[in-house]
Structure 1
């Protein structure tokens, strides 16, 4: 992309590819944890009538659910699929719109950094004190907390990335361009499940 393209990156190409790869891997991991939820629930459901017990199945399913939710945040944000209430910001154009986007991104970045720091601190504390799960399987809590912490850290990175991009004059990459035809409107509605 040329530097005059408003969707260009402020980072070198190798860093841009690395960041995009990080967001993609995070999304894939979220998908794998979603599949693991399905498999655990299937084992729990099929095991009951057969008298087979899956130890701590509910615990593992809930940890996988948290991992799915948090690891999917950055990929969802970067794909423009995160729910965004734009009633006010969509009414503004030009430079005021860019300022509003920067303000919104700065607030979002500050919130993500705050939560990422405390998630990291919680995970580190669990590791230092060797906190164990209270369920059937006494797993060290820092292991399932890694996905929670990692997802928030990757989201914070994605928000810093986007804030810098918009600060340097780029258009928000999380915002999809307006559809150009009726077919494109229908295609987007089908893809979003609406």
Structure 2
């Protein structure tokens, strides 16, 4: 039940990130074409920037869980058994600490924006806590994903972001050709 709920959460965040990517595309096209035909999109740059932030942060957990996030595994790849698990747990602990702090500070920023009625300065005035909340929600979901991975590794499991070892030579060649890990 929890596994399914978390998978749906990561997937929903990924789809939301994709939706914001479509919004960015639409706004950029409107802004570009609008310049040619004298059509002004009020605060179009602001909405595009806020959509970019929401897209980037909402996509983090989905990207992390699928193993698509850039990760330096030079040291971890050389370790095996308990040493590897210890190093993996250390890396996940450090990541969780940084993301927890980042989430807390971003949450405080959004809360202060809400508390002080902070508004954008563009043509269309928007309460700043609204675009800031995309960053906070994305970071919070990433923190949940990291904590889940920490539990998986602590229980002796293989991290979700680590691909299964290649079973055949053809599979190995295919992964290398696609730029994926071995």
Calculate the TM-score normalised by the size of structure 1.
0.88
Over 3 Å counting, the alpha-carbon distance change for 1:182 and 1:44 in structure 2 is farther
Matches of 1:192 and 1:142, distance apart in 2:
39
- Does 1:80 find its partner at 2:67? yes
Task: Report 1:1-194 matches (<5 A).
Answer: 14-188=1-175
> Unpaired runs of 5+ in structure 2?
none
Paired positions, count: 180
For residues 177 and 127 of structure 2, the distance between their equivalents in structure 1, rounded to whole angstroms, comes to: 42
CA distance in 1, matches of 2:12, 2:35: 35
Unaligned segments of structure 1, at least 5 residues: 1-13
State how far apart, in whole Å, the 2-side matches of 1:186 and 1:86 are.
20
1:187 to partner: Cα distance? 4.1
Q: What is the distance in 1 between the residues matched to 2:53 and 2:172?
A: 33
Deviation at 1:191, TM superposition (A): 5.5
Name which structure has the greater RCO, CA cutoff 8 Å, separation 6+. 1
Aligned-partner SS, 1:23: helix
> TM-score scaled by structure 2?
0.94
Q: CA offsets per residue over residues 61-103 of structure 1, 9 Å max, x none?
A: 1101111110000000000100100111111111111111111
Q: Distance in 1 between matches of 2:175 and 2:131?
A: 35
Q: Deviations over 1:36-79 (max 9, x none)?
A: 00000000111111110000111111101111110000000000
Following TM superposition, by how much is the alpha carbon of 1:192 offset from its aligned partner in structure 2, in angstroms? Answer: 5.6
Deviation string 1:136-194 (CA, Å, 9 cap, x unpaired) is 1110000101101100000001111111111111111111122223432454456669x
RMSD: 1.5
Residue aligning to 1:10: none
> 1-side partners of 2:50 and 2:178: how far apart?
28
